[in-house]
Amino acid sequence: MPTTNSFFSNTTGYSGEQQLLDDLTREQIAIYGIDVSYLPRKMLNLDKFLHESSVSAFEVALNIPAYIKTFDGYDNGMELLSKFGVRSSDQITMQISRSQFHAYYSPFLKEYYENNGGLDPLSGTTADRPKEGDLIYFPLDDSIFEIQYVALDTPFFQLGQGYIYELQCERFEYSGENFSTGISEIDDTVEAEFFALQFTLQAGGVGTFTKGETLTIYDVSGVETPTTSVPDPIDPFRLYNDAGYLVDVNSVTAFVTTWDKPTLKLVASDFNNVDPDQKDPTTGDIDVNKFASVLIVGDESGASYLSASVVTEPKAFDDADVIQDEFDQFKIVDPTDTDPFGFI
């Protein structure tokens, strides 16, 4: 039976030839590529049945050289104005060295995953290759992309071996993940997408907050004369959990987004627990915020202040409050009408 020439095969090669091609690949990436940061996803509260994680965190940023395959611009580069704001659908394709990833990154990732719940493939953690769902920080425009697909067979087995991982990425959309890599350029990138509260603090507080530090928030609404010291005993928040039931929460954590000491304005984001809109049983007011009377303590700076008031920090294209105010100005209420939709 005829076969291809074993001395000039395109599918099987000698180890020396494979090593040469791998060296050339790494050299090309080093010359023509850029340094990006690879952020492995840490999955918290993983549901092994649904294979979903309710909360994710990104605590590590690994510098890695990558060649930008889409060198002439983003694929599908457009911005869409949706009811949730402006959505960017930029896509980018990057290539990284497979042997370099195995040599320098896989050992660290294996240890990192084992220290955070194990390396069971069914749990979605494998260190052998980049994973879908991990993030890439792209420094040229200070943005973050999510890996949507990792191509393992591109180019198609030259000399019987693969030399690169091709990462097909799309611009990352924040949905409650916690960023604490320690690199401000990365941690601040998704800052504008966070749900945030703006506190007006009382004068007489202690110290000054630092941007990005962790805050611990205590409820002092039931304290007769609150001070800047942590209350003892602690009066827990009564907050709704995801299932709709009230739970006791001793304290809530968040991060400092902005702090203006002269005006005593503090914007905090990435709360570990918040309360949905609800009607006050006494006044019927739905604008009740259980963080209106709190003690805010900076975990790193030691700053401690009491709040005077709090409002939701507005986000881009968030016009719900404006629409509600306009509706309140012209609505007519019929006291005898029990229909909840009885506004004329």
Q: What is the pLDDT along the chain (344 residues), one digit of tens a residue?
A: 777 766 666 666 677 888 888 899 999 999 999 999 999 988 776 666 666 666 788 889 999 999 999 877 777 656 565 555 555 678 899 999 999 999 999 888 888 887 776 656 555 556 788 988 899 999 888 889 999 999 988 888 777 788 999 999 998 887 767 788 888 888 777 654 557 889 999 998 999 999 888 999 999 988 888 999 998 888 888 877 654 567 788 999 988 988 999 999 999 987 888 776 665 566 655 566 788 899 999 999 999 999 999 888 765 555 556 666 666 666 655 555 555 554 44
Domain end point (choices 166, 184, 202) = 184
Q: What is the pLDDT of residue 192?
A: 46
CA-to-CA distance for 64 and 57, rounded, in angstroms? 20
pLDDT number for residue 343:
47
Instruction: Cis check for the bond before 226: say yes or no (omega within 30 of 0).
Output: no
Question: What would the two tokens of residue 210 be?
Answer: 């630092």
58 and 177, same domain (yes or no): yes
Residue 81 and residue 158 in one domain:
yes
- In one-letter notation, the amino acid at residue 325 is D
For residues 294 and 223, membership in a common domain is answered with yes
Instruction: Confirm whether 330 is domain-assigned.
Output: no
78 and 44, same domain (yes or no): yes
| Domain end (from 127, 154, 184) | 184
Does residue 49 sit in the same domain as residue 175? Answer: yes
Query: What pLDDT, on a 0 to 100 scale, did the predictor assign at position 257?
Result: 86
Q: Is residue 322 part of a domain?
A: no
Residue 295: inside a domain? yes
Cβ atoms of 167 and 94 within 8 Å: the answer is: yes
Range of the domain at 293: 194-317
Decide if 292 contacts 307 (C-beta within 8 A): yes
Judgement on whether residues 175 and 242 belong to the same structural domain of the protein: no
**Does residue 66 share a domain with residue 34?**
yes
331 falls within a domain: no
Residue 114 lies in a domain: yes
In a shared domain, residues 180 and 198: no
Residue 325 included in any domain: no
Q: Can you give the pLDDT at residue 262?
A: 92
Domain stop point among 184, 207, 241: 184
Cβ atoms within 10 Å, residue 95: 22
Do 201 and 224 belong to one domain? Answer: yes
What the block records as the tokens of 316 is 């881009």
Asked whether residue 342 is assigned to any structural domain, the reply reads no
Residues 301 and 174 in one domain: no
Residue 123 CA: distances (Å) to CA of 48, 131, 141? 6, 12, 33
Identify the pLDDT of residue 8: 63
In a domain, 9, yes or no: no
Q: Are residues 166 and 208 in the same domain?
A: no
Do both 25 and 170 map to the same domain? yes
Prediction pTM value: 0.58
> Around Cβ 344, how many Cβ atoms within 10 Å?
8
How many domains does the structure of the chain reveal? 2
Q: How many Å apart are CA 158 and CA 91, to the nearest integer?
A: 27
Geometric angle at alpha carbon 107, from 106 and 111, rounded to 5°: 110
